[in-house]
Structure 1
Amino acid sequence: MSNLDRQAVPTACGGRGFVVAEPVRELLSPRRVQLGESTEVRRLLPNLGRRMVGAWAFVDHYGPDDIADEPGMQVPPHPHMGLQTVSWLHEGEVLHRDSTGSLATIRPRELGLMTSGRAISHSEESPRPHARLLHGAQLWVALPDAHRHVEPHFQHHANLPEVTAPGLTATVILGSLDGAESPGTAYTPIVGADLALSRGAEVSLPLNRDFEYAVLSMSGEAHVDGVPVLPGSMLYLGCGRTELPLRAASDAGLMLLGGEPFEEELIMWWNFIGRTQEEIEAARNDWMTGSRFGEVRGYDGGPLAAPQLPPVPLKARGRVR
């Protein structure tokens, strides 16, 4: 998924300075962003009040949108560096193409995991024909320094492990939860899980005390640790938790995101994650001159142009609020 803002703003991420060491209940409201021709997303990370959750550095929630008479998602070829993208659907399909030659149709509750490493480019679109509704989330995971230059690759996993309890099915998207581990490659201690709650369910989900967590509401009416979380909003939970109480007033869908606080200080600009201004400048120049990021074949349209770099220096900092 691309950040399509034409006035891309650098975001300073990472570092433990502003990690909340104890449990909190911090409700984050989204910023609405137009993505492509017909898709509007609700951007939860980076947020004015919170930049990262573990290694999760970018979260967009979209839909459910009726695209029966619309083109749906149409995101032209664009580059990524220093991160992984996670595609997660509740309804609809997304056709993924990338510069490694990967071609895959991602369907509800299947993992599309793209590791950019040193450089990759990809496109995302609703297939033709496509389902009436489109509803999902697109997320980025920052790669640690030891792995941020790995060879780019794509993984598609249709069968993922589940953790169940009365009224709850938790699908493990990335990392591990309660002994179940995703087949997707993770480079930091992390968890991403899809939580399907039945109406009236009251359960507690086991957590890792050393992780920080947040919960994104996808649909329905649910209370997370006693806080009502409406669809399209996210509750930041801090660290120090061993369990998370959940209660559903209706059938509800949530996403649990967590991981060890990310120690490294980063610069996130447009679709790149780096450490220095020179890295970001080089990546932009390489994309605009057709170097390094390869070519996406088969997409009906040209690639995205990178926005102009800001006139102020880019500097990696910590988790400044």
Structure 2
Amino acid sequence: MANVKFGNYSPTEEPKDSTQYVYYTREGEYLGGIAGSAKIFTTTKEQYDQAVAAKDFEAVNDETQLLKYDEKPITHSDLRYIAYVVSHESGDEDIKELRCVAFASYNRSVTTKKTWRALLASGYSSVPNKIELPDSNGNKSKLARYAVIDVLRGIEDLTNGAEFWDGTDFLAWGNSEQNPYNKLGQNKFDEYNFIEIPKDIYDDFVAAQGSTTTTYGDSGNHDLKKDAGTHEHIKVKDKKGNEKAKIRYAIPAADFTDQQYWTSGSFYYETGAQKTNGISATITAGKSIFWKITPTRLTAAAPATP
């Protein structure tokens, strides 16, 4: 038996799989499948409809279109959970903002060595009552899945490595306004040793707010005798005519119009916080600005005075 040879046969291709899984278009439209399946494929609606009609899914189970996370097939549950949080962290139905949130959160998960889902399940995301995004085809749901699929498919990161983002509160509170929680300024000014924003990104961020003021609920936390900043405590009436206490802030806060922070042509603010890193804005989308963590400034410093 030791001299018997069985030849050099090897299969020319992988065995085909005709099992039905879950299917989306590349643009995030849910096509159908078996909820909770072990694999998720992207395909076209036409190809999926043909597979359903033939009751044979071999043609749409294309391994080059299999959605993977960390080199393994991403679970249906994980994709839906991630897409839900991305959707609710974004404002309008804006694919640019959704992509930025998806990339920034993914980048942060890599830095912290957490899974993407675990990071979004943590306090990193303030979205309440997190669940899996239903497989419906409302426009924002499709766009949120589209953004997540972009990350999974490895398209270029439009945030250039951002890991966090902020909204209107960053502009409204700066580091000089008593915020609604009775703390001075927005938290990023305490968490990093510098903050920089290129001029074009700053201008886009301010313009996206669409207003020169913003209001927040007033819980009566402020000591009006020690109330820092220029904000106003006002009363407004709701739709039922009930009076509500509000705090009205100017956009932008005084820090952002102070020319000492613009000597280089970009906004550059040394916070005085004893931290290793600063943050640099890389992009704005919707009403949000996205931050890259960096030990050194990325914009050019002001030229030395002769």
User: Shorter chain as normaliser: what TM range?
Assistant: under 0.3
Between Structure 1 and Structure 2, the one with more helix by share is 2
Q: Which has the higher contact order (CA 8 A, sep 6+)?
A: 1
User: What is the TM-score when the length of structure 1 is the normalising length?
Assistant: 0.20
User: What is the TM-score when the length of structure 2 is the normalising length?
Assistant: 0.21
Between Structure 1 and Structure 2, the one with more strand by share is 1
